[in-house]
Structure 1
């Protein structure tokens, strides 16, 4: 192959023939490309730093019975919708890590895979971390501590017939070591254990009608998870957690999309302080608003400047309560801001962009792949 032909081939894989714009769909799906996702860490909980993830995509094999199924390597296959009109999720393998100025670091890998025309979904991950964090407790004052360990998550979901419902088991294991910088254990922590093994078995129920999994314009994604930490799962502590989240996107017109989010977390039993539910909002320090339970709501409005470029504004509030505070007395966390996205892979429906947010006494920005809601 001549250098000219090679250059033409690379260009054709990086630019979409439909509009001539930069697009990595074919490069990622058919040329064994890897998408680098750099991240500037501005999370106050762990300090400023840098992260990098490498994502490898492949198109799932569609069964021969699928409507007008083409060969697996057909370039048009990856943007074929499933019979219910939704874009088939790609298989994703990722490896990455981050490091910050507080000497916090994380390294991990993950894999997401679908089979049988998206009737089976697998998610697995492995991570090792060493984080320098703050626990706020009843006083609201920051108490520095170190959390290190290694953990894994394994999940398999099965679709119920051809419905948008998925059900399956999830297992989580985390071998941890926790150390406070001060020899005095902060108020609000019961039965502090320096070394803990946390093993949880649970059931997950998903409902998914999104038109694509990265940056939906229409549809709903909801998930309910109930986990049980017991000795039989390898846990040193016995406790229960339940989480429920729901995201709904509405196309108000060809240019405007409204997003609505609700998120709740509840816990019972002898749960370690660092695993308690907390309010998760852009602009809010992770785990600053943390207690036995949490409730969060957020709204996002998106405007498409062009078919590839969109801008958005968002805002949300939340409260953590049930141990340190009653719900009526709990402080309200808030976060709001703006951002933009570029459609970097049309056949995947995947975007990349930046969100800039303001929360209680702080600002932060985030490099986002797709929606911030996961």
Structure 2
């Protein structure tokens, strides 16, 4: 077929996928040589349970299954924590009056299931409700998650030790917020976690498997983290999926106590700020800072991570962390976009010790392909480096 008869969009899609394949090859080759760990910030769970699910009922997109107000879409995922896999998300959108459609998002009941090639998987149910012209917001999640992570990689330990970390358990979390100013919300939350963690691998030349060894099976760490907390949010962004301007602020305080069934008493504090500014029509500057602190007897699986790209999250687990990153997003040509990003992070045993350790640096480049203009949904591919580590990310959600 002559090149002139092939639609431009088809050519661009094939070119985009070719570049993705080449990036995947180079990352895979480098990782095969160095056997780097397969983990990342937030343990990759944010790729399984998205922060925001857009309403796609009236959108004309491929691979969408729809019957009435129920839709389901497949989402490919490549993440250095959980590997390569597929997320299937379905949502039922509840009916609205004309006034409700104009003043608030549609309430929705969502189901999510995911599986990846390192045998990590998850499934869950999410309920989102909006009332009184978006004055009240309610979100509740019930999920089962099983993750296979690496704490010590044999290629990087002096004695060849390998330590694998398996976490599985249930999560129930509910949030209720009320708007008290134009863009401000204040509310409370409850979180109930029942987790089991086991370790396996080879230490000092001896192999072990805690989960299947009769002598150690009963020592598996089973713990509950039940907590109540405070939420403060500010959001002036012009889009939930891909903002061009606006700000987002979140403060999350959670107090886990034995008095409400938690195995240990500890406190968790998280702070996140994002800023977006359109420098020119196709050019957006995005900034993000994140802080995390734990006090008391926090379990390892609830430790702070450094929220940057390009390395294993399990390499930087501690009771406090801070990170800052910037990303320049350029809508370069038609539906194709390019991004460049860089960030810096720290972790330590306490807030007072932040900055005492060497910084963790991250930088990289990314490609974007606009899948849905009306919702600003991009197909995202990022290649990131941090020291000797590197990682490839593929998703349909921006990094922040």
Q: TM-score range by the shorter chain?
A: 0.7 to 0.9
Q: How do 1:1-374 residues align onto structure 2 when only pairs under 5 Å count? A: 26-27=58-59, 32=69, 34-43=71-80, 45-46=81-82, 48-56=83-91, 58=93, 61=96, 64=99, 89=105, 91-135=107-151, 143-161=163-181, 163-181=182-200, 194-305=221-332, 308-322=335-349, 326-373=353-400
Aligned residues: 321
Shift, 1:319, TM fit: 1.2
The verdict on how the C-alpha distance between 1:30 and 1:176 changes in structure 2, with shifts beyond 3 A counting, is: closer
Contact 2:171 2:194 in 1 (8 A): yes
Q: Supply the distance in 2 between the matched residues of 1:41 and 1:305 (Cα, whole angstroms).
A: 24
Q: TM-score, normalised by structure 1?
A: 0.75
Q: Supply the distance in 1 between the matched residues of 2:325 and 2:339 (Cα, whole angstroms).
A: 13
Partner SS for 1:287: helix
Partner SS for 2:313: coil
The verdict on how the C-alpha distance between 1:101 and 1:253 changes in structure 2, with shifts beyond 3 A counting, is: closer
Contact 1:289 1:333 in 2 (8 A): no
Contact 1:27 1:33 in 2 (8 A): no
The verdict on how the C-alpha distance between 1:246 and 1:30 changes in structure 2, with shifts beyond 3 A counting, is: farther
Partner SS for 2:301: helix
Select the structure that is richer in helix.
2
1:12 is matched with: none
Partner SS for 2:315: coil
Contact 2:276 2:287 in 1 (8 A): yes
Q: Which runs of 5+ in 2 are unaligned?
A: 1-54, 61-65, 202-207, 211-218
1:189 is matched with: none
Partner SS for 1:213: coil
Shift, 1:91, TM fit: 4.4
Shift, 1:26, TM fit: 1.6
Shift, 1:90, TM fit: 5.1
Q: TM-score, normalised by structure 2?
A: 0.71
Task: Please list the CA deviations of residues 249-300 of structure 1 after superposition, one character each: whole Å capped at 9, or x if unmatched.
Answer: 0011112110010000011101112211110212221232111100000000
Q: Supply the distance in 2 between the matched residues of 1:60 and 1:258 (Cα, whole angstroms).
A: 37
